[in-house]
Amino acid sequence: MVDSLRVLTLLTATLATGLMAGLYFAFSCAVMPGLARTDDRTFVAAMQWINVRILNGWFALAFGGAFVLTAVALVLHLPAGGRAVLPWVVVALVLYVGTLLVTLRVNVPLNDALVSAGDPSAMADIGSVREGFERRWVRWNAVRAVLAAGALVALAVGLSGS
């Protein structure tokens, strides 16, 4: 029973982490490069709406679930029977916590500032609003993508050894 719970928790942690790694990757290789080719108003308006609409239950389930499930997997693997997997789960948790820190300290404040800037059609200097957001957001999103991918790999390796 405990072994099945360990594997199930590790599997769902891997799934949630994979979803988050995929989201960050999609932004890095498709969404942001696509928006980079648009004019300032289109870019700011699109990012404002994305930043509002991403706050939904599905996103929360993956974003928070990756952390919670990985932490639970760590606790479940602490007993002697789960020790072979434990280092991989620890690495995954540390890497995923890195994504949370980047998100909460960089990307969310940038998102909030962009939304607070107001209606793009009424912005006097929309170019500076975009400039203050885009480069830094893209750079730190790439960091999140790498960290989440690393966490995914660590969980997958752990899962293969469970």
pLDDT per residue over 31-64, tens digit each? Answer: 999 999 999 999 999 999 999 999 999 999 999 9
The whole-chain average pLDDT of the chain stands at 95
pTM score, two decimals?
0.94
What pLDDT score was predicted for residue 99?
98
What pLDDT score was predicted for residue 153?
98
pLDDT at 147 over 80: yes
Q: In the predicted model, what is the mean pLDDT of residues 23-35?
A: 98
DSSP the chain: -HHHHHHHHHHHHHHHHHHHHHHHHHIIIIIHHHHHTS-HHHHHHHHHHHHHHT-SHHHHHHHHHHHHHHHHHHHHT-SGGGTTTHHHHHHHHHHHHHHHHHIIIIIHHHHHHHHHT--GGG-TTHHHHHHHHHHHHHHHHHHHHHHHHHHHHHHHHHHHT-
What pLDDT score was predicted for residue 8?
96
What pLDDT score was predicted for residue 27?
98
What pLDDT score was predicted for residue 79?
85
Rounded Cα gap, residues 76 and 107, in angstroms: 32
